[in-house]
Amino acid sequence: MSTAPAFNEVIHSPVRLRICGVLRRGAELEFAVLRDTLGLSDANLSKNLRVLSDAGFVTVRKESSPDRSDARRLTWVTLTPDGRRAVEAHLAALAQIAAG
């Protein structure tokens, strides 16, 4: 079953589109891995994850790190089912636009 094209302004931002592109592979990724993969600053990634989270497109989960003795926690990010559908619909809309 293919997804009906639907352009999404939230996802279309270049940084958010790149975030969704990496996350659409299906894995939950740790914040630092996502940051380093995309070459973003902590602040830029955090700001864009908040927008995606507020839209219901990503889940951000924090947990203690087994390798740390301090209070800092690891942050894990994944697409929600709604986020996955929105990304696929947005990509379908972009393909439709590109096809003319």
| Number of residues in the chain | 100
Confidence of residue 3 (pLDDT cuts 50, 70, 90): confident
Q: State how far Cα 14 lies from the chain centre.
A: 12
Determine the average pLDDT of the residues in 53-65. Answer: 92
For 16-30, the pLDDT digits (tens) are 999 999 999 888 999
Task: Quote the tokens at residue 42.
Answer: 């902590």
Determine the average pLDDT of the residues in 88-94. Answer: 96
Q: Taking 60 as the threshold, does the pLDDT of residue 10 lie above it?
A: yes
